[in-house]
Amino acid sequence: MKAAGLFVSALSTRAHLFVQNSTTGWWESTGGHIERGETAMMAAIREFWEETGYQGSLTIEDHNYRVGEFLLFDAWIPVEFSPVLSVEHRAYAWRHLDHPPRPLHPGLEAVIREKGYAV
């Protein structure tokens, strides 16, 4: 694996966090390159913190999704929060998987379909 990310859901609402890529305009999960000495999960957590400024509790599920060289982990937080976005992203949205924002990153769209949602 070369990169990893988290697909975060808030337990209070069951909505997922989507971030909009500043360059492509695609709505995606947080994530990025795995640095030397990191596991994929460590990289996914670091990227989430860096890209959103989140400081609270986080639960990561054992199940993950492979999208090419990207490993995506499902994660849960207690409640929705307002991310402090890095320059990589220009917007965020909390959405349920049956109504994701558009345009959706093709890899994330495949994951949402794998979860059983028509997108």
pLDDT in tens, 43-67: 999 999 999 999 999 999 988 999 9
Q: Is the pLDDT of residue 9 over 90?
A: yes
pLDDT of residue 79: 98
Average pLDDT, the chain: 97
Share of residues in the chain with pLDDT > 70 (%):
100
Please state the pTM of the whole predicted model.
Answer: 0.96
Helix runs in 1-119, H state only: 40-52, 106-114
pLDDT score, position 110: 96
Query: Is 119 contained in some domain?
Result: no
Which residue's structure tokens are 């890899």?
107
Residue 22 belongs to a domain: yes
70, part of any domain: yes
Tokens of 6: 């988290």
Tell me, yes or no, whether 28 lies in a domain: yes
Structure tokens at 74: 């499902």
User: Would you state the pLDDT for residue 1?
Assistant: 86
CATH of the domain at 53: 3.90.79.10
59 within domain boundaries:
yes
SS3 86: coil
Find where tokens 């949602």 sit. 117
How many domains, in total, are found in the chain? 1
Residue numbers of the domain that contains 22: 3-114
Residue 88 burial (CB count, 10 A): 17
Residue 62 one-letter amino acid:
D
| Residue 7 located in a structural domain | yes
